[in-house]
Amino acid sequence: MSTAASSAPSSAAPQNYLGGIALRLLAMASLSLMFVLVKLIAESGVHILESLFWRQAVVIPLVFAWALSHGGIASLKTRRIGAHARRATMGLIGMACNFGGMIFLPMAEATTINLSVPIFAVIFAALLLGEPTGWQRWSAVIIGFVGVLVVLNPAANFTGGFSGEHGIGTLIALGGALMTALITIAIRDLGRTENATTIVFWFSLLSMLPLGIALPFVITPHDPYQWLLLLGLGLSGAVVQMSLTGALRLAPVAVVIPMDYSSLLWSIACGWWFFGTLPADTTWIGAPLIIASGLFIAWREHRLHIERTKDIAA
C-alpha cells in the first residue's frame, strides 16, 4: 500500500476532517503526558517491559467496555487478524523504541526525532512500494534529513560511536520514528474496514502475548506511587490509541499529520516543568527544518489528493 493510497478517504468510514484534526491534537497532548509518566516510572525503578505490559493491560478492559456500550462485542470481530498481527508487531517494537528514546533523552529532543515520521513515510512508499515521488517531495525529504542530522549532532555522537545513554537514546528514538512511519500506513489501511475500537483492541490483546511471557522475568513489587504511575500510563495510553486511530479513520494522513508538531510544544513545556530540561541547541536548529519538511510533504499529499478527486469526478 502506498502513502498516496493511505491518504485517500476510506470508503467504509465517513470523513470528518475537523474531527480528525481535533482527535490528533488530543492525542498529541495525551502522548506528552504519557511520556512524562514513562520517564517517572523509569526513574522509580520499573523495567521498561513491565511498563509496556501495564500500558497495554489497562487499555484492554477500557476498550472492551467502550465496545459494549458502542455496538456490542460484535464490533470487535475481524476478518483481518493477519493485518492486526502485523500492526501489533510493529506497534510493540515502535512503542518500545519510543519509550526507550524518552527514557534516555530529554523529552523535546526525543519528540523532535519522532517528528521525522512523514519523511520516512515518503521514503518507504518510494523504495518499498514503488510509489512515484517527484523532485518536490524528494527535496523536502533531503531538507528534513538535514534537520534530523542536526538534531542527532553527528559531530558529537559519531565521534563517540553513539556511546553512553544519550547516544544510545538517539539511535533508539530514530528506530521509533522508522517504526511509527510504518505503523501510520498500517493503521490507515486497517481503518478502511475496521473501526478505531477494533484496531486498538486487537493491538493491545495481541501485544500482550509476548509481554505476558516476559513479565515474570522483570516484574518487581511496587509501592502505591508506582502503581498510580502505571495506572496513569495505561489510561493516558488508551486515550492516545483511541485518538490516533480515530483521527486516521476520520481524515487522511496528510490532513492529520501536521497536528503532530504540536507535540513539540507540549514536550518542551513538560520537559521543563517536570524535569527541568530544555532542548539542546542543535534541537532548536534542526526542528524547524524537520517541521518545514513534514508540513510540505503533508501539503503536497493533500494537493495530490484533491487533483486525483477532480480527475475521478471528471
Kindly state the cell numbers that stand for 250.
476520520
Contact between residue 121 and residue 1 where contact means Cβ atoms under 8 Å apart: no
Residue type, 61: P
Contact between residue 215 and residue 230 where contact means Cβ atoms under 8 Å apart: no
The CA distances from residue 215 to 70, 104, 131, 189, 248, in Å, are: 32, 22, 41, 31, 31
Q: What is the pLDDT of residues 241-283, one digit of tens each?
A: 788 878 877 877 667 777 888 888 888 889 899 988 877 777 8
Cα maximum dimension of the chain:
65
Looking at residue 286, what is its pLDDT? 81
Per-residue confidence in pLDDT tens, the chain, 314 aa: 333 333 444 444 566 778 888 898 899 999 999 999 999 999 999 999 999 999 999 888 888 888 888 778 888 888 889 999 999 999 999 999 999 999 998 888 888 888 887 778 777 767 766 666 677 777 877 887 788 777 776 555 555 555 566 778 888 999 999 998 888 778 777 877 888 788 888 999 999 999 999 999 999 999 999 999 999 998 998 888 788 878 877 877 667 777 888 888 888 889 899 988 877 777 888 888 888 887 787 777 667 666 656 555 55
Looking at residue 307, what is its pLDDT? 64
The residue whose grid cell reads 518542551 is: 268
Residues 275, 288: Cα–Cα separation, whole Å: 24
Q: Which of 176, 210, 204, 164 is nearest to 49 (CA)?
A: 210
Residues 171, 55: Cα–Cα separation, whole Å: 23
Q: Where are the alpha helices (DSSP H) in 219-314?
A: 224-250, 253-256, 262-275, 281-313
Q: Which of 46, 31, 21 is nearest to 237 (CA)?
A: 31
Residues 265, 64: Cα–Cα separation, whole Å: 33
H or E element at residue 28: helix 17-43
Q: Can you give the three-state secondary structure of 178-245, one letter per residue?
A: HHHHHHHHHHHHHCCCCCHHHHHHHHHHHHHHHHHHHHHHHCCCCCHHHHHHHHHHHHHHHHHHHHHH
- pTM, 2 dp: 0.77
Looking at residue 5, what is its pLDDT? 37
The CA distances from residue 138 to 131, 141, 180, 243, in Å, are: 12, 5, 20, 30
Residues in the chain: 314
Q: How many CA atoms lie within 13 A of 175 on its CB side?
A: 19
The three-state secondary structure class of 105 is coil
Looking at residue 64, what is its pLDDT? 87
Looking at residue 298, what is its pLDDT? 72
